[in-house]
Chains A and B, each alone.
Chain A
Amino acid sequence: MAKANLDRKDMPRQSPEARAKNFEEVALGYTPDLTAFEASRCLNCPKKYCIGGCPVGIDIPAFIMALRENDLPRAARVLKEKNALPGVCGRVCPQETQCEAVCLLAKQKAPIAIGRLERYVADWERDHPSSEKTVIAPPSGKKVAVVGSGPAGLTCAAEMARLGHKVTMFEALHVAGGVLMYGIPEFRLPKDIVQGEVEYVRSLGVELELNAVVGKIDNVDELLSQGYDAVFLGTGAGLPLFLRVPGENLSGVYSANEFLTRVNLMKAYRFPEFDTPVKIGKKVAVIGGGNVAMDAARCALRLGADEVSIVYRRSEVELPARREEVENAKEEGIKFRFLTNPTKFLGDAKHQLLGMECIEMELGEPDASGRHRPIPKPDSAFTMDCDVAVVALGTTPNPLIAQTTSGLHVSHHGTVVASEATGRTNKAGVWAGGDVVTGSATVISAMGAAKRAAADMDRYLRGVEQTPA
């Protein structure tokens, strides 16, 4: 084997000064030269660890080899075989903990930039729509309802359509895509890319019904009794959690979901060209430390806030956000206040937010999650000025489906109970996958779960109850 080339290439990005003032994509993508170089580094190992690291099992070496031969149509085909949303995954997947983590070169800290190569191929395909149609199995005569059009719903719908089933996808909002549309900002994931991939799924024959809140219109039981042979629940984890401290309902205190929905889905960053407003703070505090908090903080900055701080109760090492996004945020000028926890929101006589009362924390013994438990420091209270606060503490599933589906087994966290291997719930004819089962997780894990569910739904619909050996 030739000596491994450890010279992993960075991806060009907008400068921090420029990007802090616009909503255009931060990462600009590899050039053809960078792509060729990066692809040339792949060792094409006999034992393909990277495939095992991908929740949807993309044949990664095969698409990289196609790239190496400059056969982009083939590279695109290999990707699409396993992944209906490569343009999304190439941008937002945490590759560093998945495929790239198990790349042999990762031991030398220079894994192949699989995500960036995936993105390159997906973007190439978008600019060069192929005449080649995805092969669709002959009609099975079975009807499938997919509830929710996030990554889980889109993936399940695409798979079931390819397998020859008639699929209708129901979406509560006025556009499809779930968190990809309302949560993740334009500067990390352009909405055109998401809609392009939604269109691809529709091109497979999937019918999309927008503005359709299942449980308020027909519920799952009614769908089953009205001729759908199987139902997939991909309704995500959309219900925001709050701190439950005084003053949380002051004007100026947002949940991350509301703030991001206004900005991304309703395009408040282009107000008044778009009608939905958002409050533009001078001093913005974002509470939390995950990807959602980073996204909210970076949006607030781009809207024109003077100062944006992330307030997190643990220390920097425990930040759950992707490293790359923390670095991006820091470069852009987001401040971090670690070991700090708000205990009260303070307002003026007109109920407008003025600031937060906080306490300092210190780290104790590791808790059940293996992370150090934050403990309040005595007599450490102080106040922090802010006129907008965004609470980004995570989400749980919306209870609507659980409340309106008879006999569906739901955990005490509100998540739908489903087999990890097959997505089956306890209710006949009903499968589930993605954040509604796991709680907030990742795009690719939602897609992986949807694929496993689709495979099992197909077996069920064809009357093959047992997985063939």
Chain B
Amino acid sequence: MYRILERQDLTPNIHLFKIDAPRVAAKARAGQFVILRQGENGERIPLTLADWNKDEGSVTVVFMEVGLTTKKLALLQAGDALTDFAGPLGLPTHIENYGTVVCVAGGFAVATIMPIARALKEAGNRVITIMGARSQSLLFWEKEVGRYSDELIVITDDGSNGRKGLVTEPLRDILAKEGNGVTRVIAIGPTVMMKFSSKTSEPFKVKTIVSLNPIMVDGTGMCGCCRVSVGGVTRFACVDGPDFDGHEVDWDELMARQRTYLEQEASSLAQWQCQRGACAQEAR
């Protein structure tokens, strides 16, 4: 039984679950993920560990509602249980004292970046964090991330909080200003955002680590669904990653593979919503 100990709504469609999973908590490291499944007919989906507490035996995930599974998850409350929960999977993010690191987080990935920023800080790095979202209502954890950041830059597409624009803009500014002073960029968020963050840092030749999110099934290296081309070599994101060098990733291929089930996902979501009465109203 993987009981939900606590639920928080960080934004209207980004939720946090603290889950009772002592076995996962005992081994969790920054950058790793779990695969969970909800319901006997459910799909296996990966979510990154946002936090964990070994003493309490709990781990925290933060997820955004995008399709059927995440919308089903969003219906659960504290006290409910998840059907399956396996982890910690993937390799931990490599942490050492690099000097100055820029962390770039887009959308829900602020939660993903948290344990990484904390580990970087603990390793003695100077951490600059850029967090971006479409608008103010989608931002969360400014204070929390701020605690592990020497500098925090907030940016929104519409300018409703912080600077107006995309995360790549402050990233370019920092790299231009500090030059070789920045020794590493860690960018996590939607695939396009990671792609353009990598493109932004490439001319500055600053090593840029991204956390890839291809579609997965087992998450243990058995199916090959999560394969990505990195530096011309096929790697399995679930066991060789999810962290890779963003300058070497074949982004177009990754995005194409992510779109494989677009139509089917849309139709099953529509059908599910229909069963729950959402389309009956429309038809009336």
List the interface of chain A (C-beta within 8 A of B): 172-174, 182, 210-213, 216-218, 238-240, 242, 244, 248-252, 254-255, 257-258, 261-262, 266-267, 271-277, 279, 350-352, 398-400
Contacts A172-B220, A400-B221 hold; do A276 and B256 have CB atoms under 8 A apart? Answer: no
How distant is B74 from chain A, measured CB to nearest CB, in Å? 15
Contact mask B49-83 → A, CB, 8 Å, 1/0?
A: 00000000000000000001100000000000001
Say yes or no: B234 contacts A266, CB within 8 Å: no
Say yes or no: A242 contacts B224, CB within 8 Å: yes
B142 in contact (CB, < 8 A): no
Contact mask B13-55 → A, CB, 8 Å, 1/0?
A: 0000000000110110000000001010111100000000000
Task: Enumerate chain B residues within 8 angstroms of A239, measured Cβ to Cβ.
Answer: 221-222
B253 in contact (CB, < 8 A): yes
Contacts A249-B234, A249-B257, A276-B43 hold; do A213 and B86 have CB atoms under 8 A apart? Answer: yes
B10 in contact (CB, < 8 A): no
Determine the distance from Cα of A103 to Cα of B220 in the docked complex, in whole angstroms: 42
Determine the distance from Cα of A255 to Cα of B271 in the docked complex, in whole angstroms: 29
How distant is A213 from chain B, measured CB to nearest CB, in Å? 6
Say yes or no: B228 contacts A249, CB within 8 Å: yes
**Across the A-B interface, how many residue pairs have beta carbons closer than 8 Å?**
117
Say yes or no: B257 contacts A351, CB within 8 Å: yes
How distant is A350 from chain B, measured CB to nearest CB, in Å? 6
Say yes or no: A173 contacts B218, CB within 8 Å: yes
Judged by DSSP, the binding face of B is: mixed
B84 in contact (CB, < 8 A): yes
Contacts A174-B86, A262-B217, A266-B44 hold; do A351 and B222 have CB atoms under 8 A apart? Answer: no
Contacts A261-B223, A275-B43 hold; do A211 and B84 have CB atoms under 8 A apart? Answer: yes
List the interface of chain B (C-beta within 8 A of A): 23-24, 26-27, 37, 39, 41-44, 68-69, 83-89, 217-218, 220-225, 227-229, 234, 239, 250, 252-253, 256-257, 259-261, 264-265, 267-268, 271-272
Determine the distance from Cα of A99 to Cα of B204 in the docked complex, in whole angstroms: 68
Determine the distance from Cα of A248 to Cα of B87 in the docked complex, in whole angstroms: 28
Determine the distance from Cα of A271 to Cα of B234 in the docked complex, in whole angstroms: 29
Contacts A173-B218, A216-B88 hold; do A271 and B224 have CB atoms under 8 A apart? Answer: no
Instruction: For B218, give its contact among A172, A216, A271, A351 (CB under 8 Å).
Output: A172
Say yes or no: A267 contacts B265, CB within 8 Å: no
Instruction: For A248, give its contact among B225, B234, B268 (CB under 8 Å).
Output: B234
How distant is B187 from chain A, measured CB to nearest CB, in Å? 22
Contacts A172-B220, A249-B227 hold; do A211 and B234 have CB atoms under 8 A apart? Answer: no
Residue of B44, B218, B253, B272 with most chain A CB atoms under a 10 A cut-off: B218
Say yes or no: A255 contacts B87, CB within 8 Å: no
Task: Enumerate chain A residues within 8 angstroms of B26, measured Cβ to Cβ.
Answer: 217
Say yes or no: A273 contacts B223, CB within 8 Å: no
